[in-house]
Amino acid sequence: MTAGTRALAVTNIYPSPERPALGTFVADQVSCLRERGVNVELLYVDRAGRGRGAYRGLAAAVRRAVAEAKPDLVHVMYGGVMADVVTRAVRDRPVLVAFCGTDLLGAQATRGVARWSERYGVFASTRAARRASGITVKSRNLLSALPTGVDERRTWILPDGVDLARFRPLDRRECRAALRLDADGTYVLFPAAPHRPEKRYRLAAEAVARLDDAGVRLLSLGDVRHADVPLWINAADAVLLTSLYEGSPNVVKETLACNVPLVSVDVGDVRELVEGVPGCAIARANPPDLAAALAGALHRGEPSEGRARAADVSLERTTARLLDVYRTLLS
């Protein structure tokens, strides 16, 4: 069961000319499924551009897409209101819902109207989870966030895969030259936009400021194109993750695949991914502990040994596991 299988993928996170970095992992998954012979039709819900209005008429749009594409199953690639609508609209074939993180955990750093919107999204996710034929989550903490009563036999932990051909060790000096960075500088990469409160840039900056070497510079991936992320990771001496919450952060797997040292707070499935990998460390979420772990990674002065660990979550392997889920739902 691969060649000839038809799937309708419904998602509100997908790259576009306006937002080229949005949902790149979804695009990678769709591409890999197609390479494996699955006929994937895509229904994109422009939540980022249209706001909550994107869900008006979604049920009818989904029914039309099902009637036209005649998929064997519907794969909803994100939870919340979208998954709630789709699981209510499609009842005549399997619906698989992939929960990613905030759709189950909520955006704990938001306030006001946005906070209430996120809470409603979590509530919608619980309804979708109870209706869905199958569920995937990115990590164990998301598994525990599923509502009670969900059948464990139809749930799978399935993190997003990393493209090992794109994310691989590159020459540091060449990467720095391409990015116009000092060849002999010391750089720590903050793998997110500084303005996102849940990523806690201030915590990362305070940790770097505590290092004995005042010449260490903190870079960020704020406006970096996803195609250039391998350059930035390989240009860094270490990557520092300080997120308040995560599911299975892709940048951790990408950093491992590049053999670049990583320091992270204990969030999502990061401990499972990096534990025992030389050059990587988990630290408590305070500046002194993060600085101590970061100093150890920088003073090590050599690559990590993370690529072997990243192979366990390669895009090819995670796609093979997803196809097993498809087979189970269609059997």
pLDDT digits (tens, 9 = 90+) for 8-44: 999 999 988 888 888 888 999 999 999 999 999 999 9
Q: Which of the listed CATH numbers 3.40.50.150, 3.40.50.2300, 3.40.50.2000, 3.20.20.140 matches domain 172-312?
A: 3.40.50.2000
Question: For the residues 191-201, what does the mean pLDDT come to?
Answer: 93
pLDDT digits (tens, 9 = 90+) for 127-138: 999 999 999 999
Q: What is the pLDDT of residue 155?
A: 95
Helices 58-69 & 80-89 angle (0-180, nearest 10):
50
Map tokens 């989870």 to a residue. Answer: 129
CATH topology match: 6-160+314-330 vs 172-312: yes
pLDDT in tens, 84-128: 999 999 999 999 999 988 888 876 655 555 666 778 888 899 999
| Architecture of the domain made up of 6-160+314-330 | 3-Layer(aba) Sandwich (3.40)
Backbone angles phi, psi at 202, to 5 degrees: -60, -40
Percent residues over pLDDT 90 in the chain? 73
Mean pLDDT of the chain: 92
CA atoms within 13 A on the CB side of 166: 18
What is the percent of the chain with per-residue pLDDT over 70, rounded to a whole number?
Answer: 96
Across 161-271, the runs of DSSP E, i.e. the strands, are 186-190, 216-220, 238-241, 262-265
DSSP assignment letter at 112: H
Beta bridge partners of 157: 137
pLDDT band at 247 (very low <50, low <70, confident <90, very high): confident
Identify the pLDDT of residue 113.
59
How many Å apart are CA 148 and CA 323, to the nearest integer?
26
Q: Which residues pair with 240 in a beta bridge?
A: 263
More confident residue, 301 or 79: 79
Q: What value does the mean pLDDT take over residues 263-288?
A: 95
Within 10 A of 196 (CB to CB), how many other CB atoms are there? 14
Give me the mean pLDDT over the 256-272 stretch.
95
- 225 pLDDT tier (thresholds 50, 70, 90): confident
Count of CA atoms in the C-beta half-sphere (13 A) of 128: 30
Rounded CA-CA distance 141/268 in Å is 6
CA angle at 312 for the pair 30 and 244, rounded to the nearest 5°: 80
pLDDT category of residue 313 using cuts at 50, 70 and 90: very high
Amino acid identity at 46: D
Evaluate if residue 293 carries a pLDDT over 80: yes
Task: State the pLDDT confidence band at 6, using cuts at 50, 70 and 90.
Answer: very high
Residue 218 · residue 194 · CB < 8 Å: no
Each residue's pLDDT tens digit, 45-86: 999 888 888 899 999 999 999 999 999 999 999 999 999 999
For the chain, the domains span 6-160+314-330, 172-312
Please state the pTM of the whole predicted model: 0.87
For residue 110, give both structure tokens.
């938001």
Rounded CA separation 173/179 (Å) = 10
- Mean pLDDT for the stretch of residues 297-308: 90
Q: How far apart are CA 258 and CA 233, in angstroms?
A: 7
- Pick the range with the lowest mean pLDDT from 170-174, 219-223, 258-262, 278-282: 219-223
**Whole-Å CA distances, 307 to 138, 211, 280, 300:** 20, 27, 12, 17
Whether 198 contacts 268, CB under 8 Å: no
Nearest to 294 by CA among 205, 211, 189, 193: 211
* pLDDT for the residue 115: 67
Pairing of strands 73-77, 39-44: unpaired
Retrieve residue 260's tokens. 């670049």
The backbone torsions φ and ψ at residue 10, rounded to the nearest 5 degrees and listed phi first, read -115, 125
